[in-house]
Amino acid sequence: MRKVVTAVLLLAIFFMSGISAPVISGVYAPLKNSVDGENGFALAGWENPYDGKGAPRQVEFEGLQVSSGTSVIDATHSGYIGINPPLGWSSGELEGQLEHLSKWVDDVLENPKLDAYHQELWFPIDGYPEYNNDPFFVPDGWTFVKNDAPPSGTQHPQHGYFELNGRSGEGYDGTIGWRFDANYGSGTTLDPSKGIYMTQQVAAPWREVYSAEITFLYYVSSVSDMNDEVFIFTRLEDYTSKHHVFATDTPTNTWLQAKATVPSSFFESLEVADSLLLDIGIGTDIDGLTGAASDHEVYIDEIELKLLVRPVPEQIDLRANGAKVTGSTQGSVSPYVPDGGNRDCYSAPNSNGGAGGVDLDGYGDDGVLEVGADAPSHPDWSDAFSYQVGLQFPLNVPRGARITSALLQVEAGSDSVGLPGMRIFVAD
């Protein structure tokens, strides 16, 4: 596993000295042995100002030296970008500007080799009782999603036109193999929504995601019809790439590698990129009746999602002169109060008591939320009826920020009446 951080760093040193002359355009050359008429002083003993002879001059000058560079950091060593003041000078202030920071991460998937798996039972919801409690294998960390076509369109992953089967010893490294099948007869009605795939939610705890690469191995069985009616697809959020592995020129009975690139322009359009949904499976572009009967079988293995990200400084142990650089602020407080006179929700109970009786009153713009039942106005309601009301707070959390704790504070108003016996729950 290789992790690379690229940093383009601009460093500036402000320096000063008591035994030198003015610096012109960054060139450190000795002055001529003469009187400096502009500044009104003469060199002591007519000596060169750099030879250390003669009486010291009590003068002070300021200068600037700039250095820039790119540091590539991998898993085996740290990278440094340094700057040294000119000989004989001591530095006073150090400023650094980080123009770009990026890092490739390739360990974001759980169980990318699909070697770990477990057994699940099928509980039919589509009217196929013959598959009751029919077990099947699922790779750990992944979920199966299927949309099959009628009339044999059961959503069971091992039955129907589209299938996904775990087969012992048939994977790339001799472990379990995962075979995607699309087998349908002549005259079957298909559309582009039909298919079967595996999906996994991927955490993305970085400041920004710049781009992504998805690679995987595939093995097309020679029994397949190479008519290009079915393809492998990868989908990261809404960005889909199709791999036409059943084209006539695709080799069969051998493992091959495919790659899909998700460009930076796609991530720029994402509103929230703190988690990403990755799908991989088979689908079709057929929209209507199929022609001749077709069989398609392909194994998928060794899936890798590689992200180019902008990390939080703590994630790469970024330091300046040995001091940690942090990207968070401790003790941040974000207060939210009702902020409008029209934020009101009212649910009156019906004549049978019902499930109403909730009054979420945002009127008044005074920071007070009234939550409860207006029982005097509706005497047929009592606290024997259960009800719920939810409050949602739109938090503006910077991308990649870490929330270490959160506090929701509520208090009863002085004009509360009765004992409502309220319970407060918090949900993410």
Report the C-alpha gap between 58 and 56 in whole angstroms: 6
pLDDT, residue 315, reads 81
Percent of residues, the chain, with pLDDT higher than 70: 51
Q: Answer whether residue 425 shows pLDDT above 90.
A: no
How far apart CA 75 and CA 109 sit, in angstroms, is: 19
More confident residue, 316 or 408: 316
Q: What is the structure's pLDDT at 43?
A: 44
pLDDT-based confidence at 319, cuts 50/70/90? confident
User: How far apart (Å, rounded) are the C-alpha atoms in residues 259 and 307?
Assistant: 13
List b or e across 185-221, with b for residues whose CB sees 16 or more CB atoms inside 10 angstroms. Answer: eeebebeeebbbbbebeeebebbbbbbbbbbbbbbbe
Q: How far is CA 151 from CA 236, 284, 295, 400, in A?
A: 31, 18, 18, 47
Class of residue 174 by CB neighbours under 10 A (exposed 0-12, middle 13-18, buried 19+): exposed
Whose structure tokens read 């606290």? 383
Q: What is the pLDDT of residue 33?
A: 36
Query: How far apart, in Å, are the Cα atoms of 116 and each of 112, 142, 178, 219?
Result: 9, 10, 12, 20
What lies within 8 Å, CB to CB, of 324 at 6+ separation is 313, 314, 317, 318
Mean local confidence (pLDDT), 381-388: 58
Helix, strand, coil % in the chain, rounded to nearest 5: 5, 35, 60
The predicted model gives 41-55 an average pLDDT of 50
Over 90: is that where the pLDDT of 60 sits? no
Model confidence at 340: pLDDT above 70: no
Name the pLDDT band for 90 (thresholds 50, 70, 90): low
Tell me the average pLDDT across 360-379. Answer: 57
Question: Which residues are CB-contacts of 329 (< 8 A; sequence separation ≥ 6)?
Answer: none
Is the pLDDT at 20 greater than 50? The verdict is: no
Q: Which residue has the higher pLDDT, 8 or 130?
A: 130
Task: Check whether 374 has a pLDDT greater than 70.
Answer: no
pTM value?
Answer: 0.63
Helix (H) or strand (E) holding 339: none
Q: Concatenated DSSP letters for 268-313?
A: HT-S--SEEEEEEEEEE---EE--S-EEEEEEEEEEEEEEEEE--G
Confidence class for position 356, pLDDT limits 50, 70, 90: very low
Residues 171 and 300: their CA atoms lie apart, in Å, by 8
The residues facing 296 across adjacent strands are 182
Mean pLDDT along residues 205-220:
94
Residue 29 reports pLDDT greater than 90: no
Mean pLDDT on 54-62: 53
Percent of the chain with pLDDT over 90: 36
Looking at residues 186-208, what average pLDDT do you find?
91
Which domains does the chain carry?
A: 4-103 (no CATH), 117-310 (2.60.120.260), 330-428 (no CATH)
Query: Given this model, what pLDDT does residue 426 score?
Result: 67
Query: What is the overall mean pLDDT for the chain?
Result: 74
- Which tens digit of pLDDT belongs to each residue from 100-153? 788 899 999 999 999 999 998 776 555 666 776 778 999 999 999 999 877 666
Please give the pLDDT value at position 208: 87
Mean pLDDT of 261-266: 94
In the predicted structure, residue 185 carries a pLDDT above the cut 70: yes
Q: What pLDDT is recorded for position 154?
A: 78
Q: What would the pLDDT profile of 144-184 be if each residue is shown by its tens digit?
A: 999 987 766 678 898 889 999 999 999 999 999 999 999 99
User: How does residue 207 score in pLDDT terms, banded at 50, 70 and 90?
Assistant: confident
Please check the confidence at residue 400 and state whether its pLDDT lies above 60: no
Quick check: 280 pLDDT over 60? yes
- Residue 265, phi then psi, degrees to nearest 5: -60, -30
Does the pLDDT at position 376 exceed 50?
Answer: yes
Confidence class for position 281, pLDDT limits 50, 70, 90: very high
Min mean pLDDT across 119-133, 168-182, 301-315, 390-404 is at 390-404
339, pLDDT greater than 50: no
CA distance 346 to 353: 15
